[in-house]
Structure 1
Amino acid sequence: MHRGPHGQGPLFDTDPPGLAARLVGLRPYQLRPSPYEHQGDLPFVVFTGGRGLGKSALLAQVRAAYQGHTPVALVDGEEPQFAGPPPERPGEAWSPVAQALTTVAEQLAEPVTGARRISFPRLASGLLAVAAGGWSDRDVPRIRQEAERILLLNDSRSFLDGFGGRWASKVVAKLVASMSSTGPVVEPIIEATLEAFSEGVSPTHRRLRRAATWYRDCPDAGGNPKLGLILLSGHFRAGGGSRIHAERYLVRALLADLDDAYAGVMQRSHRLGRPVVLIDNVQEPAGRGLMECVLRDRTDGVRDQVVFLAALRGYAHPALRNATRRTLAEVARTTGWKAGPSPSSRALLVSLPPLTPDDT
């Protein structure tokens, strides 16, 4: 039995399995499978409590328990990178949610035991279209830096041999060359991206082509992936509800890329358990936006197999009004959670008990 702050056996136990093992399908700190509690719909688990209850430490423990065994990402909504756009980047081409998606994908892409890196071509295509909306100033050094970071999400091989960097640099050069000295750049950038993704015959390039065509199913795209990406970029720049719509599609792109990584008998045989995304301070814009996109899609029947564990400062939130509520002790052997008709009912709030003097 694992012991830590709160006597966290309910979360980290292995025999019988605690909450983490039942959701992830792996025993904590071990590359050994564990039975799933939820085979279809998954609860979006949110740990609740006031300041000083160890919520951040709890998420860090989960990351340590599964890092290297299954893809894991941890973001904190209070990090400075989510407070506002970096210098020189226009606000209409940046949002806390888009920044969080980039950070999450970079961490999930790290290789784990027995499996290759995960690539994110759908997400990269969408993020490039969004970023291009802020490239009208032709600041080439900044464009290169932003585009290369996004493109490096695409390769499933290790970058130790430099392949990923060389491929990304080649595509970035093509993107920069596509821009004229005047006029809009979004459409030329999208055209150059789709062209770069369509080249080559390797399995990697076939994956890129399949991912690029994914945007043909965007609303109003009429089966045209280029138009889908142009609409995505325009909705993002428009802000308000239109941006939320675009962010939801970007989140869906991340989850679709993860589904691809686990599709087929061969991939599943190399990837034990489920990927894990940890969100600290989920009440902040980056975390809340990501959470609400996932909850809405799950309500609309867009399924994924990602384990989301978040930490909320406080015990309630308007976005979680219909969530199931449990204490940590109550989820030790089963969550008792069932999906309801509203987005917030897809969440499971787990309150943490006060720390003991020994914990402190």
Structure 2
Amino acid sequence: MHSGLHGRGALFDTDPPGLVARLVGLCPFQHGPTPLEYAKEPPFVVFTGGPGLGKSAVLGELRAAYEGHTPLALIDCEDELFARPPARRPGEAWSPVSQAVLTIAEQLAEPVAGAGRIAFPRLTAGLLAVAAGGWRDRDLPRIRQEAERILLLNDTGSRVAGFTGRWVGRVSTRLVDALSGTGLVVEPIIEATLEVFSEGVTPTHRRLRKAATWYRDCPRAGGNPKLGLILLSGHFRAGGDSRTHAERYLVRALLADLDDAYTGAVQRTHRPGRPVVLVDNVQDTAGVGLIGSVLRDRADGIADRVAFFAGLRGDGHPSLHNAARRALPEVARATGWEPGGTVSSHALLVPLPPPATTSPQAVEAGR
């Protein structure tokens, strides 16, 4: 280990490999490949405990261990970023979960050693549909800014100088031009989006066409991708259980796009190990929605290839009632974990004991 997290060898050891290496498939800091303990579905690992036990420090060490070598994202669900909508954006078109999905995708998209940027075309289409539900006030600068931020999720770092910037600018202009009259503009925005996606023969357009088609499988869409996106936007605006359903689709879109980046012989060769998503303070709203979506899809047999690690304040959470629990020493060489028949059984709780280094400085660093 590289940062003095003494007593955490069960997580960060490399020879023999500790929990982290076995779930990610790469040795921390050394980045050599190591066999996966779970080739198909790994547990969603949740580190639990009160303040000062080092949950945030462990997640920070995980980021340091893999950043730049495998796609990685770290969010803290207590950040103000997830507390309320950005200025002038209506709450009906924003939620902590949608913000978390966007923030995670922006970080995962960054290029890593030996591999370029990851594109998120399905998520691009879904987030545009959700954002359009808040574009009724004709605040054009805000709308253009929101659209361009989302469209950049489809950027793979084209070798054609300036292509991405020009393409994003053209598309956002088309979307703004689709705004007319008053009231909701979801349908014209989605129509304009699908029209833009259908134009051109570049890899960007091909990805977006494939992404739009994915939404035809939404419940009650009847094979119509436009209707699927309209329903997604409407469910999100409705709030309550309908919004939870829409948020689950956004999380699923994120993971499906990530899966595409790992399919095919070339991608597998250049992307060893699993992508890593780190979620601190998962007990807050953004974290509960995110982990709930991932666990429910895994329970339904919808696989993903992400190594999730989270920090939870306290010993447990109602949404994790049936999760397995292992003491830290028990996961040093094998977890002995298998998911059961409930959603929360797809998670694994690992209580953190006090760090071996217990000086006041070390305790403060572990908060």
TM score, norm. by length of structure 1:
0.97
The percentage of aligned residue pairs carrying the same residue is 71
**How far, CA to CA, are the matches of 1:153 and 1:210 in structure 2?**
15
**Alpha carbons 1:71, 1:112 under 8 Å: kept:** yes
C-alpha RMSD over aligned residues? 1.4
- Which residue is equivalent to 1:329? 329
1:147-158 to 2 correspondences below 5 Å: 147-157=147-157
Higher mean C-alpha displacement, 28-37 vs 276-285: 28-37
**How far, CA to CA, are the matches of 2:251 and 2:3 in structure 1?**
35
- Which residue is equivalent to 1:15? 15
Using the TM superposition, give the Cα deviation of residue 29 of structure 1 relative to its aligned residue in structure 2, in angstroms: 1.1
- Which residue is equivalent to 1:282? 282
Q: Count the aligned residue pairs.
A: 360
- Which residue is equivalent to 1:98? 98
> Residue deviations 1:66-90, cap 9 Å, x none?
0110000000000001001111111
Using the TM superposition, give the Cα deviation of residue 15 of structure 1 relative to its aligned residue in structure 2, in angstroms: 0.8
Using the TM superposition, give the Cα deviation of residue 266 of structure 1 relative to its aligned residue in structure 2, in angstroms: 1.1
**Alpha carbons 2:3, 2:61 under 8 Å: kept:** no
- Which residue is equivalent to 2:200? 200
**Alpha carbons 1:6, 1:354 under 8 Å: kept:** no
Using the TM superposition, give the Cα deviation of residue 163 of structure 1 relative to its aligned residue in structure 2, in angstroms: 2.7
What residue identity is the alignment partner of 1:326? R
Using the TM superposition, give the Cα deviation of residue 52 of structure 1 relative to its aligned residue in structure 2, in angstroms: 1.0
**How far, CA to CA, are the matches of 2:162 and 2:43 in structure 1?**
39
**Alpha carbons 1:2, 1:8 under 8 Å: kept:** no
- Which residue is equivalent to 1:173? 173
- Which residue is equivalent to 1:219? 219
Higher mean C-alpha displacement, 199-208 vs 170-179: 199-208
> Residue deviations 1:10-56, cap 9 Å, x none?
11111100111100000111231111000112100000010111111
**Alpha carbons 1:30, 1:69 under 8 Å: kept:** no
1:349 and 1:6, CA in 2 relative to 1: closer, same or farther beyond 3 A?
Answer: farther
SS at match of 1:277: strand
What residue identity is the alignment partner of 2:202? S
**Alpha carbons 2:22, 2:37 under 8 Å: kept:** yes
1:50-65 to 2 correspondences below 5 Å: 50-65=50-65
TM score, norm. by length of structure 2:
0.95
Using the TM superposition, give the Cα deviation of residue 259 of structure 1 relative to its aligned residue in structure 2, in angstroms: 0.7
Unaligned runs of at least 5 residues, structure 2: none
**How far, CA to CA, are the matches of 1:3 and 1:82 in structure 2?**
29
**How far, CA to CA, are the matches of 2:327 and 2:2 in structure 1?**
18
* Residue 237 of structure 2 corresponds to residue 241 of structure 1: no
SS at match of 1:47: strand
* Residue 353 of structure 2 corresponds to residue 357 of structure 1: no
**How far, CA to CA, are the matches of 1:142 and 1:150 in structure 2?**
12
1:153 and 1:89, CA in 2 relative to 1: closer, same or farther beyond 3 A?
Answer: same
**Alpha carbons 1:278, 1:310 under 8 Å: kept:** yes
What residue identity is the alignment partner of 1:24? V
- Which residue is equivalent to 1:121? 121
- Which residue is equivalent to 1:295? 295
**Alpha carbons 1:6, 1:352 under 8 Å: kept:** no
- Which residue is equivalent to 2:69? 69
**Alpha carbons 1:129, 1:233 under 8 Å: kept:** yes
> Residue deviations 1:182-228, cap 9 Å, x none?
34310011011111112211222211111111000000000000000
**How far, CA to CA, are the matches of 2:158 and 2:251 in structure 1?**
24
**How far, CA to CA, are the matches of 1:140 and 1:148 in structure 2?**
12
What residue identity is the alignment partner of 1:222? G
